[in-house]
Each structure stands twice: as structure tokens, then as C-alpha cells.
A and B are shown apart, each in its own frame.
Chain A
């Protein structure tokens, strides 16, 4: 029997959910507000919430001091490139493991996941040396490579679970209906896999966009994406809260807009198969 839900309960849980949502959103809101404050207001104690002197000078300074477009372009190339290459490798890999598994498939999957269990800093020195010797330091190709390899296990795992959800019977039905492997792929598998592919793609893009460890350590200027651009405002000369906030706002704006427009896909993909 369904539990009885009173309107007071509904009201209270709605309020609680909004409060919780607001708490999670608060740091981003704070950053956004701080980006319009003067450096003094950003430090002020007690903090000023809305009533301060609004200014856009931080954005102007940030624009002046560093080349936003250059870093943004790097971010797009690195996140986009690593995502595309990871998908190109992961789709056939996950495919074969999902549709023609062998005795060792489980082991391979676990092994891939195990590479994510080690903290990246553990291999920083060897990777740095390899990158130095191969001339990959501060190169877009180098960052694309490392982010692609870093996210590959997760991408394969996600795709593997999506492909696993596609009933084998349906593929066999297509085969009985006279479809060749190619047509089975185009007419049956791909349309059924698109939500999974889309959300994996988006999630991987977001992960790569926000990745800071490798991008900070392996690039300086030429290939530096937006993460490096943000970090450059917490410099030895001191912390500039307002400018840092302005830089961060600029850096995350594209990804927030992307997430906003694709939220339905994202949520559908992430909860795929959770409810039968």
C-alpha cells in the first residue's frame, strides 16, 4: 500500500530539498558574486553577500593579464580530443567485451579499473620524465594522450554497462530478420545505444575539462588549458580572490552551459538501467 503523504510533509520535504540544493550550489554562487567584488570586498569580514560595490574590473584585469581565448581553445582541444579518442578506443573494446565475452573479460575489466585505484601522483615523476624525453611537455598532444588514457577505464566501464543492457535477443532477432552485421549496427544497436553513448561522451568531456592534476603538472603556457589559467591567479605574490573568482567563472561557464543544455541526456545516461 502506498504511504499516506500529507501536504505538510510534501511542503517540508520540498523545502528541505531546496535548502540542500542551495547548500551545494552556494560555493558556485559565492564564486560568481566574488568575481564582481573589489579585492577588498572579497576579503571583507563579515562577508558581504549582495550589498557591495558591483564591478567588472576583475574581468577586465583577467582579460588584460592573460589570454582567455587561448586557454579556452586549449581546453576545448584537449577535452574534446581526449574524449573523441577515448570513445574511438572504448566503443569497440566495450562492445566486444559485452557481446562476446570470454573467461577473462571480468579480469580485464577489473584490471582496467585497478589502474584508477593508484593516486596519479604516484606516477608523476616517471610520466614527467617520459614526457620530457619525448618532447611532450607543454604540448596539446601530450595532454590529450594523458587525459585520454586516464579516463579510458571509466569510459570503457560505462559503455560496457550500457551495452550489457541491450538484450541479446533483439540483436538475434535482427539477424533472423536478415540484417547483416553492418545494418544491425546502424538500424538496431546504435539507436538503442545512443543515450548511453551520449552521456558517456558528455561525462568524459566534463571530466577532461575539469582535470587539474596532469594539466597543471605537464603544461605551462603553450598548451595550458583553463585549469592552468585559474591556478595562475593563486600565485606566489598572494591570493587574489576576486580575480581568481573571475577566472574560475570564465573557465567553468562553457561547461555549465553545456551541462545545462544536456542535463536530460546526462541524467538519463547516469541512471540508465537503474530502474527496470
Chain B
């Protein structure tokens, strides 16, 4: 079991409020990703759950029990750190076994569990090596092995892939997701990379300036962002925002439209503009269009399109995919 509930959690460092009233329900077995720009408080929130920081106010419940006064060692969670944080003086075996040794398990059982974890993570040949003799990816696996071997109520991941190179990151992303599904253990994962968030999460928590902006599945956030911040943060390339006259005509403060929901129409039909940059990726074409009073609009076209800088284009937004925001930046639901 591993259900984590946050009720009115607050955290301040001196006069600075890092987390402002966080309420969250993380279901047992789900993969939840905290995402947001740097300094938004996502790592702090994770450390509060871990118990490495004390809350200033509110409650954290793990399986219904308030744990704010329980030390990290007794919360039954395990954590994978960005720096891996392996014990440099212990072998891979010692690293993975450490938590079990602290729990006082008998040696044969420890050995059995360590070997099983090592086999799952392809670490068996390296069991007797020291961390410094391993590559970055292998160290990451050891850190994960150390987390899974204890069969915790939940895994906490603090940007675990950010020190790996791009190719390895994609591979580890898949492996972590697969492992989590296989173990069916709750996971809370912090990242600033929205692609990681979208691909790995069952549910995403978007944080901004210490506040939870929205909590929902990746597609919910993509299709129904609650406000300008989420709309701008989720999705790549970023959503286009059109303020001013055009939005005024629709009776709202700002119109949001994703690059993939702008169609390139026939001459004279829709918003006029001129291509300033065209990026041809083969699978996609990204156009940056100067739209006069609309500002610069990004357009994503699936496939190859023979437009180049300086060409005139006409853009039609898909009305069903338009997002309307009021002055405060909240979405206006039309239905």
C-alpha cells in the first residue's frame, strides 16, 4: 500500500514561503510527476514527503497515518537522488543491501533480495565493484536497486535522469516506467522536463511559485489546461497566446491555440502572416509566422511543407481546440 495525501501543506524558509497550501491525493500504485520551472518548489515538496524537511503547517498522510512527526527512516519510503548519492566506500552489493541491513533482516534473506534486485537491473556482474568503477547509467541503476530492494510504500525520485546523456535518458525513462508498472508501487517523480512528465506520468502535478496549478492526467493537462501557466508549460512547442483585439472580438482577454491546431489555409482565408523562420525536421515542419497584431505564432505541420522564410500564409485556428482565458489567466469553460 502506498497512498499519499497532502492536506494544507505549507513550508517556509524564514520569511520565504516555498510551498503555499498544497493539497494532493496520490493514489496507491500510481506514477505521479511533479513538474514546474526551477525554483517552483517541486523538490521541496518531495523532500517534505520524504521527511528530509519539516513542514511549516498542514498534514502529510501515508496510508491514512499522519507522518509529519515521523523521521524519514520510519516512513517506509525510498528515494533516488539526482546525484545518485551512493555510498562510495561500499560495493554495489553493500549499497543495495544497506537498507535491508538497517532493517535487521537475516543475511541469507538480504543476499537473496539483493541478487534478485541486481538481476532485475542487470547489475549482477558488477555486484562487487565500487561505485567509482561504474558508469553514470550503472550508478543510476544501483541507486534504483537500493530503492526497490526495500519494497517501500512509495518511490521518490528527485530528477534522477538529469545527469545522464540524452540517449541514455530516454532508455532509462522507459526502464523506470516499466519497472514501476511491474512492481505496482506508488512513485512520485520530480522533473523540470515536461517531456519526461508527459511520457512517464499517470498524473502530473504542475507547480508554479509554490502553488499547485493543476493536477491531472497528461492528456487532461494538454487538452484542458486550467490556466495560462499550465497551458504555456505543457506542450512543445509552446502554446500561442493571442491577446488584444482578436481576443476581444471573441469576448475574452487571451486566446490560446496550440501550434498543431493552427491550419495553413487557402489564400485570403483566416489570419494573414508572413513566415519568418521555417524549420524542416522531415517528420514535422515548424513555422514561425509574423502575424502583425497577432504577434509571432508558432505553427506545427505534420510532414514536409515547402514553405520558406518570407512566404505569405493564411492561418485558421481549429475553433474546437481554442482555449479562452479571462484577465486573471484562468480558463473560461464554454460547455
Contact = CB atoms under 8 A, between A and B. Distances in A.
Given A169-B83, A169-B85, A175 B71 contact: yes
Interface residues of A, number: 17
A268 interface: no
A178 B79 contact: no
Give the one of B50, B86, B102, B146 with max A CB within 10 A. Answer: B102
Interface in B76-121: 77-79, 81-83, 85-89, 98-99, 102-103
Interface residues of B, number: 23
A183 B89 CA distance: 15
Contacts of B52: 172, 175-176
A179 B73 contact: yes
A177 interface: yes
A198 interface: no
Interface in A148-176: 167, 169-170, 172-176
Nearest to A177: B99
B98 A192 contact: no
A18 interface: no
B252 to A, nearest CB: 47
B150 A177 contact: yes
Contacts of B81: 169, 172-173
A123 B86 CA distance: 49
A137 B252 CA distance: 90
A176 B87 contact: no
B72 interface: yes
A170 B85 CA distance: 5
Nearest to A190: B89
A96 B99 CA distance: 25
A92 to B, nearest CB: 21
Interface of B: 50, 52, 71-74, 77-79, 81-83, 85-89, 98-99, 102-103, 146, 150
22 contacts: A169-B81, A170-B87, A170-B88, A172-B52, A172-B72, A172-B79, A173-B79, A173-B86, A173-B87, A175-B52, A175-B71, A176-B50, A176-B52, A176-B72, A176-B78, A176-B79, A179-B98, A179-B102, A187-B98, A188-B87, A192-B88, A192-B89
